Chain A
């Protein structure tokens, strides 16, 4: 049994397995497998049964993937992590997607068969929403930028002390597996990655602040407060975990300069990844989608029988929102915790895929 490999597999696969299994229990109660329903149907035995069946199926596959990983780690070494981890993560995500789609179509059929579309659909918005503090200020990204600037400064000041050959990648025994000639571009690479990450955090924080209001028409006051807490907590978590990530990347040039063993760097990087994964898991369970799991004492009720707008027709496969009429760029996912984009808006595409393209471009430029 390979201890390090086992540990790394478990640290990533267990939180991920729990996450994909728990998704249908964390959504708003007005959604079931990407289909909008009235909240009173959430506890319907048939719909509850579907959630259980989904969890059983996805959970079994996740458990199998973890067991397969443990078995593989008995006669593989850490170098196998390169392909083993993505393969096992892939199995989990594929199971997640397959079971989701199966129950999505079943849910759609059920809704039609039992005529669950309400005739009392309403939309509720708060006219003061835009004045509220929905996310933490982007000024909180200054510490991240300071770390990036310090990293760049250290790399430039001690440029001469870097070896003539820069190691871009180590294997897990600490042997260099990819080496390039030293240049300002390769030495400054960590700082460039840090800057790109800050850009990504900036965009995500913007999407948290600017995403659609989405109040629950049946409980507008309650869902308004839940939603505010939900946004602020995720924004804080983004800024905090982002800072950890930026710090972790600063370790790479430091390790080359100070010559401490790569295993120290790897251990620290893994610790950061685990903190982030566990944070996502904890926060996901605490808030639920849109803050729907946050306990708020209910104020005066809304007119009985009112429900949210049924916008199933804009949700392709229940997960891709495509509504050309809607100027919103970001809105809540229907199956999961977090946000997604309005695919009918090119600006949203640019914000999401722009940074990805930039990262790919930078790494290609360095490789050539």
Chain B
């Protein structure tokens, strides 16, 4: 899978890496058990500090998206990724809250907001229309 990092973005690079990899898993571009580049080789390819990649991989591991083995290196979670528990749903709501607020301020009604969400689900091949 191709990972695209935007260097002018305000979003830090480790966050971009985290997001792109999770998106890859969601869309199936990254398959369960697929090996990922080592921290060193990914940092070298991007020409950035090892710590930046390390930080992204650490978060990914903590959230259960990847595993890091001493020998095999980093790989996409081969088993089931932890389901959405109460804590996750709470966090999801917290993160959506300001977005909904902004949307309301700009006159985006609930229907249009849902429409956007639906389109995003579709982009990952998980839309309800598709199935």
Query: Chain B nearest CB: distance from A304 CB in Å?
Result: 13
A-B contact count (CB 8 A): 79
Q: Tell whether B68 is near chain A: CB-to-CB under 8 Å.
A: no
* CB closest residue in chain B, given A326: B47
For the complex, give the distance between the alpha carbons of A325 and B3 in Å.
20
Residue of B nearest to A221 (CB): B2
Enumerate B1-42 residues with CB–CB distance to A below 8 Å: 1-8, 21, 24, 30, 34-38, 40-42
Chain B residue nearest in CB terms to A302: B4
State whether A122 and B1 are in contact (beta carbons under 8 Å apart), knowing that A131-B35, A311-B47, A327-B44 are contacts in the complex. no
B47 and A309 within 8 A (CB):
yes
Which residue of chain B has the shortest Cβ distance to A224 in the bound complex? Answer: B2
Contact of A127 among B8, B30, B43 (CB under 8 A): B30
Chain B residues with Cβ below 8 Å from A125 are: 2-3, 5, 37, 42, 45-46
With beta carbons under 8 angstroms apart, the residue of B7, B37, B47, B50 that contacts A129 is B37
Size band of the A side of the interface? 20 to 34
On whether the beta carbons of B44 and A212 are closer than 8 Å, the reply is yes
Which chain B residues in 67-103 approach chain A with CB under 8 Å?
A: none
Contact indicator A220/B2 (Cβ below 8 Å) = yes
A125-142, CB under 8 A of B: which get 1 and which 0?
Answer: 111111100000000000
A328 to B6, CA, bound (A): 20
Collect the chain A residues with CB atoms within 8 Å of residue B30's CB: 127
Contact with B along A98-142 (1 / 0, CB 8 A): 000000000000000000000111111111111100000000000
Grouping DSSP codes into helix (H, G, I), strand (E, B) and loop, the B interface class, with mixed when no group exceeds half, is: mixed
Contacts of A328 in B (CB 8 A): 44-45, 47
Q: Please, which residue of chain A has its CB at the minimum distance from the CB of B73?
A: A130
**Chain A residues, CB < 8 A from B34:** 127-128
Which one, B21, B46, B50, contacts A123 given CB within 8 A? Answer: B46
Instruction: Please determine whether A120 and B47 come into contact, CB atoms closer than 8 angstroms.
Output: no
**Docked pose: A131 CA to B76 CA in angstroms:** 14
Partner of B7, one of A122, A128, A220: A122
Q: List A contacts of B45 (CB < 8 A).
A: 125, 129, 212-214, 328
Interface size class of B (residues with CB under 8 A): 20 to 34
Distance A311 CA – B7 CA, assembled complex (angstroms):
11
> Which of B7, B46, B49 lies in contact with A121, CB distance below 8 A?
B7
B8 and A325 form a contact (CB under 8 A): no
Nearest residue, chain A, Cβ from B24: A127
Query: Across the two chains, which residue of chain A brings its CB closest to B21?
Result: A127
Tell me the smallest distance from the CB of B50 to a CB of chain A, in Å. 6
| B120 contacts partner chain A, Cβ-Cβ < 8 Å | no
Asked, given contacts A323-B47, A328-B44, whether A130 binds B38 with beta carbons under 8 Å apart, the answer is: yes
CB distance from B37 to the nearest CB of A (A): 5
Query: B48 contacts the other chain (Cβ, under 8 Å)?
Result: yes
In whole angstroms, how far apart are the Cα atoms of A217 and B24 in the complex? 18
Q: Once the chains bind, are A123 and B7 in contact (CB under 8 Å)?
A: yes
Please state if B49 and A325 are interface contacts (CB–CB under 8 Å).
yes
- The contact string, 1 if C-beta is below 8 Å from chain A, for chain B 47-66, is 11110000000000000000
Residues of the B chain whose Cβ atoms lie less than 8 Å from the Cβ of A214 = 45
Do A121 and B8 form a contact, CB below 8 Å, given A126-B1, A127-B3, A220-B2?
yes
Give the distance to chain A from B121, nearest Cβ to Cβ, in Å.
Answer: 22
CB closest residue in chain B, given A213: B45
Known contacts A121-B7, A326-B47, A328-B47, A126 near B2 by CB under 8 Å: yes
**When the two chains form the complex, which single residue of A122, A126, A210, A212 contacts B47, counting CB atoms closer than 8 Å?**
A212
B61 to chain A, nearest CB (A): 16
Which of A210, A212, A314, A326 has its CB near the most chain B CB atoms (within 10 A)? A326
Contacting residues, chain A, for B42 (C-beta < 8 A): 125, 127
Residue among A121, A323, A328 with max Cβ neighbours from chain B (10 Å): A328
Interface residues of A (CB under 8 A from B): 119-131, 210, 212-215, 217, 220-221, 306, 309, 311, 314, 323, 325-329
Could you list 7 examples of A-B contacts with CB < 8 Å?
A: A120-B8, A123-B4, A123-B7, A129-B37, A130-B37, A212-B47, A326-B47
| 5 tightest A-B CB contacts, nearest first | A328-B44, A213-B45, A123-B5, A326-B47, A121-B7
